[in-house]
Structure 1
Amino acid sequence: MTSGAELTPRGSRAVAGRAPAADPRWSRRRRVVSVFAAVAAVGMAGGALAPLGTSLAVAQEKPVEVVSLWADSRGDAQALTTVTEPEAPVSLDRTGFTVYVTPKPTPTPTPSETTSGTSSRATPVRYSGGGSSSDWLAAAGIPESDWGYVDYIVSRESGWNPNATNASSGACGLVQAYPCSKVPGSGYDPVDNLSWANGYAVGRYGSWAEAHAFWTSNHWW
């Protein structure tokens, strides 16, 4: 082997101390590859930027309306309200009748009587009819044979005044029934008063004669 020189891979001789010359074929390939790579890069960039350019062009022709979420929701609510809005109320004709309200009656207090320490019923209505003592006795069903006893007691209790009232006890009517509310019907009605007295005399004393005897001894019955 010659000193100072060595063979290249392809057998060519290289000069000692100098770099081997580059292969022209490799340089040409590199240039071709670089050109193709540049063209491919330009194509990819153009493909990526084309939609953006189109969008910008459309945006320049017509501005994009920006709608917030709140405004969008408000629009939906207004649309819903418009759909569900009821029809206008029908106007009624009220000229064909008259409306009136009757005032609520105010109750009038009725005098009451006190019986055995308890509040009693309302005072019966006073008697305003006519008639005689005999009419009342007959209507009350009292036998005529007892009329004399009845007349004695009634004359001293009320003087045959159907509306006689004891100011202190509240006893009322011809026989001064006590309490007045015991008399069925009205204590001031002479027939009702005598009918009650007939049952009282017979039931308590056994007869009008016995009732008369008790009254003459005690001045009450």
Structure 2
Amino acid sequence: MHARTDIEHTPGDARPRRRALHLLTATGAMTLALAFGGQAVAQADEWNPGDRGSTGQWGGGWDGNRGDAQPAPEAAPAPAPAPAPAPAPAPAPAPAPAPAPAPAPAPAPAPAPAPAATGEQAYKDYALAALGGDTTQFGCLEQLWERESSWNPNAQNPTSTAYGIAQFLDSTWASTGIAKTSDPYRQIDAGLIYIENRYGSACAAWAHFQANNWY
């Protein structure tokens, strides 16, 4: 229903005023519809089918707190920060190098070898070694062959075939298994074989020579 106004309007002003009035009326109607619609939704939330009677009417009451907003859940606590890694242990110090050993003293120079014997002495040294270093037996042998040839490997008896240091006849050479030779060392080998086989020792051969002037 529109209120009457005493203000006179000209025919040209009536249309815009009617449009404004219609707009206000529509806005008010929408506001009322929204208000009643929200109440109906809230009442529907509280309705429990078990509360309905035989007539099917809603028998519950209105809970004004149902429309209140629920509190937001508490935020989960932030995880504790991971502990900082322990620092790496410092490397062990390198061991101090062992002191270098003092250089060994240079060895004393070896004595110069004695000059090798030559001639008669070399033959005698060889004979002593062949007798196993027995100086007693060598003493007898030395005197025996000194009398026979003076230790001369080239000594030759002018009246027989006796030859060399031991003054063997050709037949005596054959009994030793060594052929007649001018090699002084082979002559000594043959002479020692003969003495061992016939007399058993150089001193026994020397004793026979002293008694008979031959051996």
Q: Same fold (TM over 0.5)?
A: no
Length-normalised TM-score, structure 2: 0.38
Bigger Cα Rg:
2
**Which one scores higher on RCO, CA 8 angstroms, separation ≥ 6?**
1
Length-normalised TM-score, structure 1: 0.37
